[in-house]
């Protein structure tokens, strides 16, 4: 069993935590509260020893989206309290506040689910869904959906490496890389179709569509902490709702 206190948690416990963050930042309309979740998630990532890939993925993907969303709200959100101007745009206090609120929630929710998929094996998550009653067909759809992008990325890298061995230039300017990428689309699509057919044959050979209860050699166990934490999340959410409604 994994001795890491974060990685050893049940997949659903980690999933409920991501949902807990999502609900909490929706209930509490405060951008400081939402932004405060990010350092918490960084600490969790450090304990789980995935801090480097977690932060790298945030900087490469989510940060670009946050900058674009913030600037769009700052320049185009309607408001009357003008705090500055740039070119033909007026920067309003309302736009600033709405931009901070929106980006803080995107950062909190996006980071929570990015970290979730960093500390949870997709197969374990799907098995956990099966354990709580999801049909095997639905579990397979979830698994294949979550794996399709990484699988196509691996196939694309394999095709690009094959192109390199044939002397095709794949590195350089954006135009050069585009010229090398577009010829890979046809073999990538064909290989994906072939892979889908192979999976279907494999599933049928294992009696996937046969009636009756399915068994699995892979078992997930819940520890006492996995039974307590979801109730802690629910209690905090109820407390936040009461605070929002009455205070």
Q: Are 23 and 114 members of one domain? A: yes
107 and 147 co-located in one domain: no
With respect to residue 215, please indicate whether it lies within any of the assigned structural domains: no
More confident residue, 145 or 71: 71
Assess if residue 172 is contained within a domain. yes
What pLDDT does 206 receive?
60
Q: Does one domain contain both 189 and 112?
A: no
> What local confidence, expressed as pLDDT, does residue 244 receive?
87
The pLDDT score that the predictor gives to residue 174 is 64
Based on the fold, state whether residues 195 and 238 are members of the same structural domain: no
Structure tokens at 209: 């569509």
Residue 56, domain member (yes or no):
yes
Higher-confidence residue: 192 or 225? 225
Which pLDDT score is estimated for 209?
63
Average pLDDT over residues 17-37: 93
Examine residue 210 and state whether it is found in any structural domain, yes or no. Answer: no
Note the pLDDT of residue 240.
92
Distance CA 105, CA 15 (A): 18
Question: Residues 113-127: what's their mean pLDDT?
Answer: 88
Distance (Å) of CA 210 to CA 39, 97, 130: 48, 56, 17
The model scores a pTM over 0.95? no
- Considering the domain architecture, whether residues 91 and 158 belong to the same structural domain is answered as no
pLDDT: is 103 or 2 the higher one?
A: 103
Considering the domain boundaries, does residue 179 fall inside one?
yes
- pLDDT higher than 90, residue 3: no
Average pLDDT (108-133) is: 87
For 45, 121, 171, 179, 219, the CA distances from 160, given in Å and listed in that order, are: 32, 27, 10, 12, 38
Report pLDDT for 21: 95
What is the DSSP secondary structure assignment for residue 1, as one 8-state letter? Answer: -
In this structure, are 146 and 112 located in the same domain? no
How confident is the model at residue 227, as a pLDDT?
Answer: 92
Asked whether residue 116 falls in the same domain as residue 229, the answer is yes
Number of domains observed in the structure of the chain = 2
Regarding whether 172 and 84 lie in a shared domain, the answer is no
Residue 2: the pLDDT is 61
Q: Are residues 224 and 102 in the same domain?
A: yes
Ramachandran angles phi, psi of 81, nearest 5°: -85, 90
| pLDDT level of residue 72 (50, 70, 90 thresholds) | confident
- Domain contains 214: no
147 and 54 inside one domain: no
Instruction: Give the structural domain span for 82.
Output: 11-120+220-246
Whole-number average pLDDT of the chain: 81
E strand or H helix that includes residue 152: helix 136-165
pLDDT tier at 77 (50, 70, 90 boundaries)? confident
Give the DSSP H/E element, type plus range, for residue 82.
strand 82-86
110 and 172 inside one domain: no
Return the structure tokens found at 64: 């670009």
């Amino acid at each position: 069993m994994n001795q890491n206190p974060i990685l050893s948690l049940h997949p659903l416990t980690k999933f409920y935590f991501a949902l807990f963050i999502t609900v909490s930042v929706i209930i509490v309309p405060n951008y400081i509260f939402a932004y405060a979740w990010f350092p918490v998630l960084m600490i969790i990532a450090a304990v789980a020893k995935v801090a480097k890939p977690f932060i790298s993925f945030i900087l490469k993907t989510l940060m670009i989206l946050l900058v674009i969303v913030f600037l769009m709200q700052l320049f185009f959100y309607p408001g009357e309290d003008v705090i500055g101007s740039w070119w033909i745009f007026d920067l309003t206090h309302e736009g600033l506040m709405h931009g901070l609120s929106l980006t803080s929630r995107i950062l909190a929710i996006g980071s929570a689910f990015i970290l979730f998929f960093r500390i949870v094996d997709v197969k374990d998550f799907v098995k956990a869904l099966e354990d709580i009653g999801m049909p095997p067909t639905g579990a397979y759809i979830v698994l294949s959906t979550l794996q399709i992008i990484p699988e196509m990325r691996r196939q694309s890298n394999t095709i690009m490496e094959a192109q390199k061995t044939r002397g095709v230039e794949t590195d350089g300017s954006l135009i050069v890389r585009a010229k090398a990428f577009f010829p890979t689309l046809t073999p990538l699509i064909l290989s994906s179709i072939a892979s889908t057919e192979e999976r279907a044959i494999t599933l049928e050979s294992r009696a996937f569509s046969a009636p009756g209860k399915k068994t699995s050699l892979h078992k997930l166990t819940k520890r006492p902490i996995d039974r307590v934490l979801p109730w802690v999340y629910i209690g905090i959410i109820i407390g936040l709702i009461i605070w929002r409604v009455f205070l």
